[in-house]
Amino acid sequence: MGVDSSLRDRFEHGLAAPICLTWELTYACNLACVHCLSSSGRRDPRELTTAEATALIDEIAEMQVFYINVGGGEPTMRRDFYDLIDYAVSRRVGVKFSTNGTRIDAAAARRLAAMDYLDVQVSLDGVDATTNDRVRGAGSYTSARRAMDELAAAGFGQFKISVVITRENVAQLDEMAELASHYGAQLRLTRLRPSGRGADVWDELHPTRAQGRELYRWLRERPDVLTGDSFFHLSALGSPLDGLNLCGAGRVVCLIDPVGDVYACPFVIHDEFLAGNVRDAGFATVWRDSELFASLRSPGSAGACASCGSFDACRGGCMAAKFFTGLELTDPDPECVFGHGEEALARRRGVAPTSGSDHSRRVRVALSTR
């Protein structure tokens, strides 16, 4: 079930405010997932202060951003985490936060269960420790499961389990659904992008085209599974997947990072997609006046995809996937279901861009050497 094309067109041209936005509260993280899109680990000394964060929430509330997705790094590592999410909710801004679960103990779960307008999303990248911990680190599966048990015990209600789909876990889709069902949780699958540390492991971990087709078929049969419109590139395979089926970056969503930088989306933390900083003149000014956002909101060229009959279904795919694999934004998506992306990758010259923003705690190593 796709969305009316005139509605998509209007969204492509931008809105008065984001519908929702991702706010990475901190680059600090107590895990070191191989594919971390924000290359998190070490806290940045220039992090927004509590006062700055509170003022930002005020602006977000005044703009009527409907809800915020709070992440990081690991957002619970900020000392003012609960103060900030309490404040957002009190200002009628809904909050979903994404967590590795390491700090969701019984007391935290009870505190969260007592809050309204709060959504919790626990990250998990496999249905067993072997699969999950290879990507997220030793002990991470156990922590995530413990967090889910605590949320259930505290009567939190429905939370989300968020899985980044990789070549190694795509065979576990049914088991993931069962796990979510066990907790009465919502399963959410998202696309691995070559962003942040994801660039180091993308070649080895991104699903094959055959797996992409399998995933598409599975999602078509499971409309209850959320995707964050993450797989709209697969909509070229047939009837569109649920969602707007278009890139929301700078149009309906954006990212605010821990030091106040505003990017088009969490998957393009790179100067090329930096719209401004909230410390200059606030967030609303950036959303409204940024040149980057104005250019994203004006009709783009279909480029190499112009002659493809499926362009309307996939709109040429994901900017982040193209940018960080060294493709042009007018090239096909590297995971184009028809293989046009693979052709474009083969023709590539030069080195893919890397983000200057790297807060990793240690030298990044390839997956195969771990």
Partner 1 sequence: MSIETVTEEEADPTFDEVDELLVEEVSIDGLCGVY
Partner 2 sequence: MTTRGIRFDASGPWRLSAEVSLRDESFGALAYHHVNRRLVFLKSPSLVALVSRLDQFESANDALIELIDEPSRESHRRALGSLADSGIIRGG
Contacting positions for partner 1 (CB under 8 A): 1-4, 7, 19-22, 37, 66-67, 69, 71, 98, 162, 188, 190, 223, 226-230, 232, 242-244, 246-249, 252-255, 264-267, 318
99 versus 172: smaller Cβ distance to partner 1: 99
d(CA 327, CA 331): 6
Exactly one of 32, 42, 43, 94 binds partner 2 (CB under 8 A); that residue is 94
Contact (Cβ atoms closer than 8 angstroms) between residue 148 and residue 161: yes
> Smallest distance, Å, CB 10 to partner 2?
5
**Which residue from 46, 62, 90, 92 is in contact with partner 2, where contact means CB under 8 A?**
92
CA distances to 18, 75, 94, 249 from 120, in Å: 20, 12, 11, 23
Q: Do the beta carbons of residue 68 and residue 60 sit within 8 Å?
A: yes
Find the Cα–Cα–Cα–Cα dihedral 352, 355, 356, 359, rounded to 10°.
-130
C-alpha 114/C-alpha 19 separation (Å) is: 25
**Residue 64 contacts which entry, partner 1, partner 2, none (Cβ below 5-8 A, type-dependent):** partner 2
Contact by Cβ (8 Å): 316, 332:
yes
Q: In the complex with partner 1, which residue's Cβ is closer, 148 or 246?
A: 246
Question: Which of these segments, 15-23, 123-131, 254-262, 351-359, binds partner 2 (CB under 8 A)?
Answer: 15-23
Closer Cβ to partner 1, 134 or 188, answer by number: 188
* Residue placing its CB nearer to partner 1 in the complex, 154 or 269: 269
In the complex, what is the shortest distance from the CB of residue 165 to partner 1, in angstroms, rounded to a whole number?
13
Select the span of 8-16, 160-168, 180-188, 265-273 touching partner 2 (CB under 8 A): 8-16
Go through 75-85 and write b for each residue having 16 or more CB atoms within 10 A of its CB, e for each that does not.
bbbbeebeebb
- Site residues (CB under 8 A) for partner 2, limited to 115-174: 117
Rounded to 5 degrees, φ, ψ at 114 are -80, -10
Question: What gap in Å lies between CA 89 and CA 80, rounded to an integer?
Answer: 14
C-alpha distances out from residue 160 to 6, 124, 140, 163, Å: 31, 10, 17, 10
Count of residues in the chain = 370
In the complex with partner 1, which residue's Cβ is closer, 67 or 87?
Answer: 67
Q: Which of 1, 16, 51, 363 binds partner 2 (CB under 8 A)?
A: 16
Question: Residue 254's binding partner, choosing from partner 1, partner 2, none, with beta-carbon cut-off 5 to 8 A by kind?
Answer: partner 1
Name every residue whose Cβ is closer than 8 Å to that of residue 143 and which is 6 or more positions away in sequence: 100, 101, 102
How many residues sit close enough to partner 2 to count as binding (CB under 8 A)? 12
Among residues 15 and 284, whose Cβ is nearest to partner 1? 15
Instruction: Specify which residues 165 forms β-bridges with.
Output: 191
User: Strands of 118-123's sheet, edge to edge?
Assistant: 186-191, 160-165, 118-123, 94-99, 67-72, 20-26, 255-256, 261-263, 274-277
Least separation in angstroms between residue 57's CB and partner 1 is: 18
Nearer to partner 1 by Cβ, of 1 and 351: the residue is: 1
Binding at 16: pick from partner 1, partner 2, none (beta carbon under 5-8 Å per type): partner 2
Minimum distance of partner 2 from residue 15's CB (angstroms)? 6
By a kind-dependent CB cut-off of 5 to 8 A, residue 17 interacts, out of partner 1, partner 2, none, with: partner 2
Taking the C-alpha atoms of residue 181 and residue 310, their distance in angstroms, rounded to an integer, is 35
What x/- string results for residues 30 through 69 when contact with partner 2 is judged by CB under 8 A? ----------------------------------x-xx--
Rounded to the nearest 10°, the torsion over CA 30, 35, 39, 43 is -10
- Comparison of 7 and 306: residue with beta carbon closer to partner 2: 7
Instruction: List contacts with partner 2 (CB under 8 A).
Output: 7, 10, 15-17, 19, 64, 66-67, 92, 94, 117
